[in-house]
Amino acid sequence: MNGPKVKCVVNTCVHWLKGNRCNAHNIDITHEEEGKMSQTAEHTQCKTFYQRRGLANTLGSLDNVNWGGWITATLLPGSEVYPSVTCTVSSCQYWVEGNRCKASEIDVVGANADECQDTNCYTFRPKAAP
């Protein structure tokens, strides 16, 4: 297992699999606005989102496909797929040094999204004030 279990309901993404799973090799969770620290889940985004539209988007996403996970998910329905997670949202309590996420599971939302700004990491919790 490379990272947290990822539950993703972004059904318009090329990496989305039935069962609300993500078939990306790695997903990037970032702040929605560059240079602005996220304070709520709505200020985060899945930067790995590629809209499932047209050949160009599909081809553009091929370098980040979890091929082993895709084969397993195809042959063994219900199996889990674990993409690695890179998270730059250092204002989240689950963020750890090296841009990693220590949550056991993350929820990426944004059903019917048109762009990555329409997605959010609903596992985000603001760090407690020191």
Q: How far apart are CA 76 and CA 26, in angstroms?
A: 21
Q: What is the pTM of this model?
A: 0.84
pLDDT at 30: 96
Contacts of 111 (CB under 8 A, 6+ apart): 9, 10, 11, 12
pLDDT at 45: 97
pLDDT at 79: 72
Answer whether residue 1 shows pLDDT above 50: no
Beta strands in the chain (DSSP E): 5-8, 16-17, 21-22, 26-31, 44-46, 84-87, 95-96, 100-101, 105-109, 120-121
Measured between alpha carbons, how far is residue 31 from residues 18, 37, 46 in Å? 27, 7, 9
Contacts of 87 (CB under 8 A, 6+ apart): 28, 29, 30, 94, 95, 99, 100, 101, 121
Three-state secondary structure call for residue 45: strand
- Average pLDDT estimate for 55-75: 70
Could you report the per-residue pLDDT of 103-128, keeping only the tens digit for each?
999 999 999 999 999 999 999 999 98
